[in-house]
Structure 1
């Protein structure tokens, strides 16, 4: 089976960056926090390898992980403030993207070799890897990835660049602020579309180019092949059910390929057998004198050529079948592990001395002697059984804990999707209500003229004080923050029109009150 040695690059659009995320990237944890994290069966943080983690600072040099005094989330906010970043109102159900969360990695065996060379690494939980030292190759790889990010996004926009060597596979976390230039003002601002496209189609094209560029500038130097592009926006890790569905689909396709190759091989074997029979028949005809030697040699050469061709094809199909069978076995095992909510029992090795008779048989009183020896052996045997029971009871408790955690995770995912669906439904209802209101307003000439007047003024950047008329406190001005840093022209015009509709609605209600 061919080894998949591809580079890996995941990009996720971030609307915010929490302290918990920052602490994980910089490993600002104590011992208790690490142990608590490792209670999750899917986590594997090796405390004995954490000293090998490092980061590349703003100076482009290697430093110990978490060496900067200011936490990662604070540095991000400072960069956003310097760019004049203004998020939407806190109570808004949607927020713009303010950062890009990158994860760089690659083939498991290749990245481990870059990090630790020929040293023996144990990936078992609670293993002692304190003997390991960090190899220079992983530092060179990280620097090359950092330089690639600098060329694309600017050094001042790389807020964090952490390299983790304490998990299953070495990888890099990079937190980057996407910055663009406003066409009218020429001012730098936070602008996701400037670096990752205005829609998912443009994002897909950019992502493909990023994979190619990363391979040409970095991956090819370290024996990593070009990674696979994933079209679409906000690429994230698959949830458990999506991952199982993906594995099942791939397994079915691989199983179909296996059956196809087996059918081809049977056909080729049939052809080889048929031509072998023809060669035997020609030999019999030669022996009986029904054909001449020259005719036999010609037939023999033709048949042997065909047999050799089919044999080559058969060997090629056999190699491909072997690859597909191994791939199918791997996919089946991965799917089984993903479905399992428990951890497998460990194969415990229990050291004990077998029960044995230690006294000689007396000449008299053998019955009491046998009874005493039986009690002694029974005690030893019971101690051994109790020890084994204790080991597997602990394993069973671990399984129950894993199952409970998995159930809670599934419930958490369900609850998150439920809340997301409710939020989207509410947003949809609000938009539908606003659209209906706007259509009603546009049917009235006076209100329609007011809406277009206000909308044109807002698009042009002019203040629009609207009053319902009369005396007293009748000012109905609505708050307007102007154009947002990362807002396209068309989206801004739509928002101006909706705001003008709200202004017209306020004016109309003001007249009703009078």
Structure 2
């Protein structure tokens, strides 16, 4: 059994779901947007494979991706409204979870095989894979995963179920609303704890059961072994994000070293080929009588010496290249499995000989013989039990030590979260001050008109001079404006234009009040 051929499942709690996330899941992008996304070296959205993406609709049938008229975030809000979802007040520092974001996948080679069979797939950026067609096995797998989600969460609570075949590995995005019943009224409502537990311990237990259930119902049918859970992980005492970042950095360094070694190998091979060519020319010169035998032997000896040296260097670099390639492969696997690291309880195999009677019973003195044999068997059995006890006590102590280290790491993350909360609270105070200033400005008709004029001009990409009023002349802001960013969504860009306009007018008013003094 190849233990690397595993299923993968990642679940993440969400307090909201933005339109940008919905657009990515449903690929509601144009070619320019895709090109801007691919400018990031970590992205590889293959435009020639996007036609192979699909989703499973609320009817349980396969449809082309983005077939639904209503965007994903709108469908989510409608389902939340049906369930009477009422989040906390907007000024609250905490918000409850309203949905779960799932990603289902598995071993890279196996999922590629399910999606494309024996077809040749080029995973390089900007590669042409327009010849590919989608295989039925990936559809069957997706349908089985959908049925598994339906059984656990209810079909009406699966808001989105998109299958992406245009990235490095085929995978599924599922957006699901966790629903439970209130104890008193029995009414259905959004309830994270009903599906994922009331605390971290319950969540860990549920996650283990989910991995097992997914394997039994789906993974085992497609040759995907049970995925590992994150409980008991000891990932170098680093937060998972930091660990993945560390692995990514090391992988990039290994890739750089591999490229350097490949370049050196190419140069060495070129030098060897060059000397082999010289050796052939020397043989021809001897045959044509252009050089004497003594000179030929001297030249040949020198060339063979150079070839031997370069071959030795080539062998050394090839070995180093092989080592680096293995290192890169391990780093890539570790990064891919960083969300599913487990330290299992070791199952020791204890070698022992079963206790047995070693003497024949005598004709006389049977009682003493039985006592002696029982004592011998008892000593053997006790020694075996003590050995097993020692090994498992040792393993248990190791597990406890690992758990303690993980608790310390979790406390470190808790303190980091507290610092983050403090920083967010400070940012909230600043935003509140900005918001109050904005309200004061909007209450003034002339200032409001000026703000919207600047914002409209920025959105349209045309420069504008803002009149300072009163004393005449024009005002040009010294606030920096960098235009629209390559990966910026339309709504976010408009919002930033408005905030810049507000800051511009505010700065202008501050200068005017200063001059009056």
When normalised by structure 1's length, the TM-score is 0.49
TM-score by length of 2: 0.49
